[in-house]
Amino acid sequence: MSDLSELYQELILDHQKNPRNFGQLEGANHHAEGFNALCGDKISLDLKTDASGVIEDLKFKGSGCAISKASASMMTAALKGKKIDEAEILFHQFHDLVTGKSAPESGEVLGKLKVFAGVRDYPARVKCASLAWHTLEAALHDDQKVVSSDEGDD
């Protein structure tokens, strides 16, 4: 097993068993719900941003597979303290990574999130990994709900 595969398994299992930023966020000023119709993953995401567009805090609740929960956990950890435009950049880089539009080595901004590069080899899991990110986009744009179907690449 490659070092990246081992790291992937360790990080996914750690974040699945001990999700960071799990729960409801009091005082949130952005919220969205996400649902993956293909496998039943559900996420509720709360964000609190300040007047200058910095994500002060964010939390998620929900149920789903290990990949979905780990992705949400790692996403929330990566985004705390970032500006909304930085979050948008991370969303696009993560999306390109898991859909195979960019190489795992590209997008240095992703850091530990690069472990999700292997998801591209399992098309059904792309939606699991990207659900939290699409829910983030919905929350930032004040859409209330994201429903991912079995069509498309995510």
Q: Name the most confidently modeled range: 4-13, 82-91, 141-150.
A: 82-91
Q: Report how far residue 56's alpha carbon sits from residue 67's, in angstroms, rounded to the nearest whole number.
A: 25
For range 102-117, the mean pLDDT? 77
Domain membership of residue 153 (yes or no) is no
Q: What is the pLDDT of residue 111?
A: 87
Q: What is the span of the domain harbouring residue 16?
A: 3-148
**How much is the pTM?**
0.89
Which residue would you say has higher pLDDT here, 143 or 81? 81
Q: Helix 66-79 and helix 3-17: axis angle, to 10°?
A: 90
Task: Give me the CATH number covering residue 98.
Answer: 3.90.1010.10
DSSP state of 32: E
Does residue 108 carry a pLDDT above 70?
Answer: no
Domain membership of residue 123 (yes or no) is yes
Domain membership of residue 154 (yes or no) is no
Q: Report how far residue 77's alpha carbon sits from residue 98's, in angstroms, rounded to the nearest whole number.
A: 18
Q: Which of 20-24, 30-34, 102-106 has the lowest mean pLDDT?
A: 102-106
Range 43-49, long-range pairs (CB < 8 A, 24+ positions): 43/68, 43/72, 43/131, 43/132, 43/135, 45/72, 45/132, 45/135, 45/136, 45/139, 46/139, 47/136, 47/139, 47/140, 49/84
Does residue 42 carry a pLDDT above 80?
Answer: yes
> For residue 105, what pLDDT band results from cuts at 50, 70 and 90?
low
Domain total in the chain: 1
For 50-66, how does the pLDDT look when each residue is reduced to its tens digit (9 = 90+)? Answer: 999 999 999 999 999 99
